[in-house]
Structure 1
Amino acid sequence: NIFNSSAVLASPETSTDMNFERIEAIIAHEYFHNWTGNRITCRDWFQLCLKEGLTVYRDSQFTSDMRSAAVKRIGDVIDLRARQFPEDQGPLAHPVRPESFQEINNFYTATVYEKGAEVIGMLKLLVGDAAYSKALDLYFDRHDGQACTIEDWLQVFEDTTGRDLGQFKRWYSQAGTPQLSVTESWDHGTLTLHFKQHTPASAATADPQPYVLPIAVGLIGQDGDEVHETTVLEMTQAEQSFVFDDLGTRPVASVLRGFSAPVVLTQDLSDADRAHLLAHDTDPFNRWEQGRMLAYGSLLGMIREGKAPNKDWLAGIRAVIGDETLDPAYRALMLGLPSQSDLARALSEAGDTPDPDIIYAATEATRAAMADAFADLLPTLYRRHTVDAPFEPNAKQAGKRALSNAALSLLTRNDDGVLAQEQYDAADNMTQQLSALANLVRAGRGNKAVEAFEAQWKADRLVMDKWFGLQVMEADPEDAHEVVETLTKHPDFNWKNPNRFRAVLGAFAAHHAGFHHASGAGYRLLADWLIQLDPVNPQTTARMCTAFQTWKRYDTDRQDMIKAELDRILSQPGLSRDTTEMLTRIRGA
């Protein structure tokens, strides 16, 4: 990060709100390493999560304090599901503390970092804030100047709380994401929640044993009031039930509040119950989660059966985004949809073969339906939350810009980009300029703006990274690989610069329908560039190989084309140890 200018340099003219937040978090992370990583360091590489998971947790707490805790938590979960869950569910699965490695660079992973941070959060939730603080003080006192292990870390919690953390230690030694299901029974004022946990076997863990799961639960009454505040249930068995007595009418259970454990939750809720929680849940994460689950149901119905978007979900989201008592940044998140890759995962887990083209079409149709359903509300949201004051990269202004730009993305679908052009012309900061440019490109009116943006910023490499990446992300799936090929021939495309390589090829790998085009052109294009990059930068090459890790989700033709490209890369003479290890694990799935 010292040598990556994107992690330290920012100005309102050249950096977006997200850039400012990321830099703030990175500087905090590296600063916190003074204690959790430097003053107390790792005995060996197998203990990498001792410093990285703990320090990610600390920097997340910092960002939550500096900005919105609810928005930060939701963002962390989105990232965990997008990056770490696929690791856990695929050929790259490994424990938070790996037991072996060929190349340690390949274990700077989302599992070590993000899941490692989730484990710290669960530990704090189980022992409580005061006990966590006391244990941390003892850790710094006892081990300052030492090189330590996970056992040393857990021992301070056992010594300060008297708890036996033997079972909890499985979070460090087992791979895989637990599948948690909950069913209910109701009998004359008594609600019983029945939980089952199961973790699928993997190459890394053949027979996973039950975890300790902290499950935060609240109960919402039929009138919308909270009838039972958050209680943390501690699940230790494969199956376990918990009872709530003395209830008047049957409430709706708000389960896994705050995403209290990194699991995949299956809860048998009707759309009406989910809409009730969307309207009334006092836990901001679960309120967002119920909106997301309704969006899932709507999109999967469109994909599988050609249904229209769910009107009750649209009505629920409309009510939330129009509520001026809520944080604008939170309302902007409510306008988001599950990613296309996440929809492919859901379909695959249900036994369906995902079709990237159909997923893309359903997502686009849903956004069009949102633009129509909120048409009368969007102009007000846009105007009310457009910031007229001088740019400040603080949470208040950033939240308002996030909501106004979320509204703009829907407005652009019906006004042919007129408002986006006005914003582009008037923009005095990168957040507004880049958002307007993205909407113009999406509306098919971006050619002049793309040229103007390049002329304005061609001397600034960090801004030009944004220019390259935006064109890939907003490309039509049919043209995406051609857009990438054109950009790689641009005079300013320097493939040896990791930021520039990721801006183009990384964005392409994340373009679900474009990368997985039925022709296989996307697979061939990325493989060509990975072969070229590996001798120069094996670390970036190996990490980019994760684009192929979910290959078994797709149809036989796509699987065969991906296997052919993996074999072609693996056959290259002199292939690095980093890339060989990564691709061998992916290919061997």
Structure 2
Amino acid sequence: MRTDTPPIVRLSDYRPSDYLIDAVSLDISLHADDAIVTAELDMRPNPAGSAGAPLRLDGDELELREFTVDGAAPPAGAWESSPQGLTLHAPPQQPFRLRIITRVNPAANTKLMGLYRSSGVYCTQCEAEGFRRITYFLDRPDVLSVYTTRIEADRNEAPLLLGNGNLQESGELSGTGRHYAIWHDPFPKPAYLFALVAGRLDTVSEPFTTMSGRAVEIAVHVEPGKADRAGYALDALARSMRWDEETFGREYDLDVFNVVAVSDFNMGAMENKGLNIFNDKYVLASPETATDADYANIEAIIAHEYFHNWTGNRITCRDWFQLCLKEGLTVFRDHEFSADQRSRPVRRIADVRTLRAAQFVEDAGPLAHPVRPTQYSEINNFYTATVYEKGSELVRMLGILLGQDAFRSGLDLYFSRHDGHAATIEDFLACFAEASGKNLDHFAQWYAQAGTPLVTARGVWDEEAETWTLRLKQMTPPTPGQTQKRAQVIPIQMGLIGASGRELPLQADNNAPLQDDVLVFDQEEMTVTFRNVTERPTPSLFRGFSAPVRCDIDLSDADELLLFRADSDAFNRWQAVQNLMLKHLAADVAALRAGRPRVGAPAFAGALEDFLASEGARDPAFVAQALSVPTEGDIAREIGSDIDPDAIHTARQTLRQAMATALLPALRAIRDAAEPDGAFDPGAQAAGRRALRNLALDLIAAAAPEEGAERAAAQFHDAGNMTDRMAALATLSLLPGARREEALAAWEREFGDDPLVMDKWFGVQAMIPENGTLDRVRQLMSHPGFTLSNPNRARALLSAFSLSNPTQFARADGAGFSLIADVILELDRINPQVASRMLTAFRAWRTLEPGRRGHALAALQRIASRPGLSVDTQDILNRMLAAG
């Protein structure tokens, strides 16, 4: 096994750049296998830097063609260069200009970082450190420059030339068949926000008028022939712009806003100033090709990248350790947007599901790190659920603790004070402290301390004294590098429900840290007594999931059922029924593994039947969430250790069948009710109705497989939209037999030429929980529509298998681990960023039962033994294999 480690970058070592770049002029001449980049950099010493220090510019696989300082070639010995960097030993100590000419090969760039080609389109990805793959540069986020970019290309190959900012000039190069465009961005930005696109693309556009009356042209550019699938993204962009004006007072600042969809992209999208480049998965949509989940994702990610215009672009991060400052804040903003556009309770449930499935698992394993890490080896590996999702929860907690008005004042102060700056977490929190008059030093610990706190809550009602006493404890488990934990500031939004189902008034002791309905828990232990409690209360704690914690509350099944029926907080109603299911499932798994009698039918089935009858028509999206059985990952997280995926799968299937059997008449009624006529509507209400109907189909198949298969096959062939067709295929995928294989074959015949739709086909097969799935996945890797070099294809098949099929990925014989290890080794040579992210599927390997744990360790050690692993993959391996 390798023992070498990648170099470590530490937050404590930060110091300002010794030099600044005020203006950047780029001239980029594009050819398929040869791009010539001429960069002119107006530089000066940084007064905050070290006077007279050498100038060290970053590079990555660059070929240097020319280098001058103030128009003259520096003498031999005054400088040195390699593909990985350029150093000028004694730069001028007054303003000076560098001219650097480099050559890169876009077609050969399989890493998809820097300048590359995707399906004949030239594009860039520069976050986090991709600009150094274009030219030598101070590639760090605290060096902000004004950019002017001239792009030149063959007109037939690339009739569209796009850059950051506003178009200043364009024209033909006489007699060459080539043309050019000059773009200027007046807003200083770091290199990671640079972008260009050149290619043959179709465009949909429309005018947008900002709140101050400025005219802006907004446009979405897609591969030829796909313009009819770009309309929803354009509409989502316009809605995002208007919402940000109305909600946060943020107005767009350029004359144009361009979104470009490309088919080869490592991430979801990128917020480059005025020119957002997207994975086409998050742009293209039509009723025939996109599900309701696709529409919701497009809406959210379009919004997220647009919102970065202020939280990320106008105000950027000082260094990469502050990544959550732009990402966590912007995730919070896109969550709020989606909640306003759709159902706020349903959106909150979905966001918490994502947090628990990804971030809680991350926090509990070898990859745990603070929201603001203190060190990294490869920054691309810290684009994590902790930075994004937990980072968003910290912003949400600020709002709960400070109140809406103070929170908005603090955010307004942040926008005005730090516009045009590279900021830190301390800068951000100082604005809220000043606006609210509150000391946030203790709250700041959330950014520095990893791990998910466990809050234990115990309540005692004194009937005679008419008091209810709540005793709270908090504990955060040790995480890598942090064995000792301090108490966090935890806002507990709460209520008390009486036995009659009515909400009881909250009247706490005078010294209790209660702000309206928010109890501020900031010690290891706390006791609070509530007065005038005239009936036994059931506590409703962490309403709306007011803090990213795990909670152990002494609630009986009867208490949970009362909350499910009567709580005014929709999130806690959903949480109550999830708790009932999880307790039932954990007990059944324990019985299975011990060889004891099984738990039997769920006692809460009757309550679910009443709930479905009373609320199915009123709020179908919420009902669909409430009746969804916890995932196998949820159950594993509840159990915590010595995980047996087969036992979990069996227990979950048993509960699904029992619930479905009890609800079968109501489920059939939902399926047999006529759907409203009319054109496909991607809005929240119509999507909610489809969600409930398709959940009913899934449960019918669990209770009555033959009936379910017949209904699913009919829906598959008759469906008028992709949501219903995909749901039918997902149901059939769990029912072995001719109907399943016929549906899979029909899908391939109809959509074989559409990669994004075929991704759904790859994914549904990868998630089949059957022993034959491993061989099926191997065969699909040889399918003509599959290639490891495209991140979407790799994720659709192999990440679906490793992240969403625990019985087969974590097979008892270790074959699932071995397959993914083989894939990671191959991917590491093509695209290390995708390889390292796929490796995180092993993040919970230590929680498995001993046999599976041994197989996972062997797979990880085999990867580690490969010479020449990328820094990306080696970094994840080192943390995964560290003692713990």
- TM-score under structure 2 length normalisation: 0.65
Q: Measure the CA separation in 1 of the matches of 2:600 and 2:549.
A: 28
Displacement after TM superposition at 1:358 (Å): 1.1
Displacement after TM superposition at 1:464 (Å): 0.3
Displacement after TM superposition at 1:387 (Å): 4.5
RMSD: 1.3
Q: Measure the CA separation in 1 of the matches of 2:413 and 2:720.
A: 49
Displacement after TM superposition at 1:348 (Å): 2.8
Alignment correspondent of 2:586? 300
Query: What amino acid sits opposite 1:48 in the alignment?
Result: L
Alignment correspondent of 1:160? 435
Alignment correspondent of 1:316? 607
Q: Measure the CA separation in 1 of the matches of 2:493 and 2:328.
A: 22
Alignment correspondent of 1:268? 554
Match of 2:778 among 485, 491, 495: 485
Displacement after TM superposition at 1:3 (Å): 4.2
Helix, strand or coil: the match of 1:535? helix
Displacement after TM superposition at 1:385 (Å): 7.2
Alignment correspondent of 2:195? none
Q: Measure the CA separation in 2 of the matches of 1:155 and 1:241.
A: 30
Q: Measure the CA separation in 2 of the matches of 1:331 and 1:312.
A: 19
Alignment correspondent of 1:69? 344
- Asked if the contact 2:478/2:485 (under 8 Å) is kept, the reply is yes
- Asked if the contact 1:132/1:157 (under 8 Å) is kept, the reply is yes
Alignment correspondent of 2:753? 459
Q: Measure the CA separation in 2 of the matches of 1:311 and 1:511.
A: 25
1:548 has 2:842 as partner: yes
- Asked if the contact 2:461/2:537 (under 8 Å) is kept, the reply is no
Q: Measure the CA separation in 2 of the matches of 1:407 and 1:416.
A: 10
Structure with the greater alpha carbon radius of gyration: 2
Helix, strand or coil: the match of 1:302? helix
Which piece of structure 1 moves more, 320-329 or 109-118? 320-329
Alignment correspondent of 2:395? 120
- Asked if the contact 2:602/2:659 (under 8 Å) is kept, the reply is no
Match of 1:391 among 680, 691, 695: 680
Within-5 A mapping of 1:139-538:
139-187=414-462, 188-228=465-505, 231-305=517-591, 306-324=597-615, 326-349=618-641, 353-384=642-673, 386-413=675-702, 414=704, 415-444=707-736, 445-473=739-767, 475-509=768-802, 510-538=804-832
Q: Measure the CA separation in 2 of the matches of 1:532 and 1:387.
A: 49
- Asked if the contact 1:222/1:251 (under 8 Å) is kept, the reply is yes
Name the structure with the higher helix share: 1
Which piece of structure 1 moves more, 113-122 or 493-502? 493-502
Displacement after TM superposition at 1:416 (Å): 4.5
- Asked if the contact 1:71/1:329 (under 8 Å) is kept, the reply is yes
Q: Measure the CA separation in 2 of the matches of 1:339 and 1:433.
A: 22
Displacement after TM superposition at 1:310 (Å): 4.7
Identity, % of aligned positions:
47
Q: Measure the CA separation in 1 of the matches of 2:505 and 2:778.
A: 57
Which piece of structure 1 moves more, 380-389 or 72-81? 380-389
- Asked if the contact 2:602/2:655 (under 8 Å) is kept, the reply is no
Q: Measure the CA separation in 2 of the matches of 1:30 and 1:426.
A: 36
Displacement after TM superposition at 1:231 (Å): 0.9
Q: Measure the CA separation in 1 of the matches of 2:791 and 2:741.
A: 27
Helix, strand or coil: the match of 1:388? coil
Helix, strand or coil: the match of 1:374? helix
Q: Measure the CA separation in 1 of the matches of 2:727 and 2:350.
A: 19
Helix, strand or coil: the match of 2:665? coil
Helix, strand or coil: the match of 1:261? coil
Q: Measure the CA separation in 2 of the matches of 1:20 and 1:228.
A: 41
Q: Measure the CA separation in 2 of the matches of 1:472 and 1:385.
A: 33
Per-residue Cα deviation, 1:64-94 (whole angstroms, up to 9, x for no partner): 0000110111111111111001111111111
Query: What amino acid sits opposite 2:474 in the alignment?
Result: Q
- Asked if the contact 2:499/2:536 (under 8 Å) is kept, the reply is yes
Helix, strand or coil: the match of 1:482? helix
Q: Measure the CA separation in 2 of the matches of 1:307 and 1:256.
A: 32
Q: Measure the CA separation in 1 of the matches of 2:676 and 2:879.
A: 49
Q: Any unmatched runs of 5+ in structure 1? A: none
Alignment correspondent of 2:133? none
Q: Measure the CA separation in 2 of the matches of 1:217 and 1:240.
A: 15
- Asked if the contact 2:697/2:708 (under 8 Å) is kept, the reply is no
Displacement after TM superposition at 1:308 (Å): 3.5
Per-residue Cα deviation, 1:328-371 (whole angstroms, up to 9, x for no partner): 1110011212221222232235xxx2211111111111111122
Displacement after TM superposition at 1:242 (Å): 1.7
Specify whether residues 337 and 163 from structure 1 end up closer, same or farther in structure 2 by C-alpha distance, changes over 3 A only.
same
- Asked if the contact 1:189/1:246 (under 8 Å) is kept, the reply is yes
Name the structure with the higher strand share: 2
Displacement after TM superposition at 1:507 (Å): 0.7
Per-residue Cα deviation, 1:465-486 (whole angstroms, up to 9, x for no partner): 001101111x233222122112
Q: Any unmatched runs of 5+ in structure 2? A: 1-268, 270-276, 507-515, 592-596
Per-residue Cα deviation, 1:557-581 (whole angstroms, up to 9, x for no partner): 2111111111111111210000000
Displacement after TM superposition at 1:21 (Å): 0.4
Query: What amino acid sits opposite 1:70 in the alignment?
Result: P
Alignment correspondent of 2:296? 21
- Asked if the contact 1:477/1:517 (under 8 Å) is kept, the reply is no
Query: What amino acid sits opposite 2:859 in the alignment?
Result: E
- Asked if the contact 1:321/1:332 (under 8 Å) is kept, the reply is no
Helix, strand or coil: the match of 1:572? coil
Per-residue Cα deviation, 1:494-541 (whole angstroms, up to 9, x for no partner): 111111101111011120111111111100000000100011111111
- Asked if the contact 2:729/2:743 (under 8 Å) is kept, the reply is yes
Which piece of structure 1 moves more, 226-235 or 559-568? 226-235
Displacement after TM superposition at 1:386 (Å): 3.6
Query: What amino acid sits opposite 1:511 in the alignment?
Result: N
Per-residue Cα deviation, 1:38-72 (whole angstroms, up to 9, x for no partner): 00010111100000000000000000000011011
Q: Measure the CA separation in 2 of the matches of 1:311 and 1:348.
A: 22
- Asked if the contact 2:364/2:452 (under 8 Å) is kept, the reply is yes
Query: What amino acid sits opposite 2:626 in the alignment?
Result: M
Q: Measure the CA separation in 1 of the matches of 2:320 and 2:363.
A: 20
Q: Measure the CA separation in 1 of the matches of 2:586 and 2:430.
A: 46
Which piece of structure 1 moves more, 242-251 or 229-238? 229-238
Q: Measure the CA separation in 1 of the matches of 2:770 and 2:399.
A: 44
Per-residue Cα deviation, 1:430-477 (whole angstroms, up to 9, x for no partner): 00111111112222221111111110011111000001101111x233
Helix, strand or coil: the match of 1:259? coil
Query: What amino acid sits opposite 2:312 in the alignment?
Result: G
Query: What amino acid sits opposite 2:862 in the alignment?
Result: R
Query: What amino acid sits opposite 1:447 in the alignment?
Result: E
Q: Measure the CA separation in 2 of the matches of 1:571 and 1:311.
A: 48
Count of residue pairs the alignment pairs up: 585
Q: Measure the CA separation in 2 of the matches of 1:296 and 1:3.
A: 38
Which piece of structure 1 moves more, 230-239 or 165-174? 230-239
Helix, strand or coil: the match of 2:544? helix
Q: Measure the CA separation in 1 of the matches of 2:677 and 2:598.
A: 42
- Asked if the contact 1:298/1:310 (under 8 Å) is kept, the reply is no
Q: Measure the CA separation in 2 of the matches of 1:389 and 1:383.
A: 18
Helix, strand or coil: the match of 1:98? coil
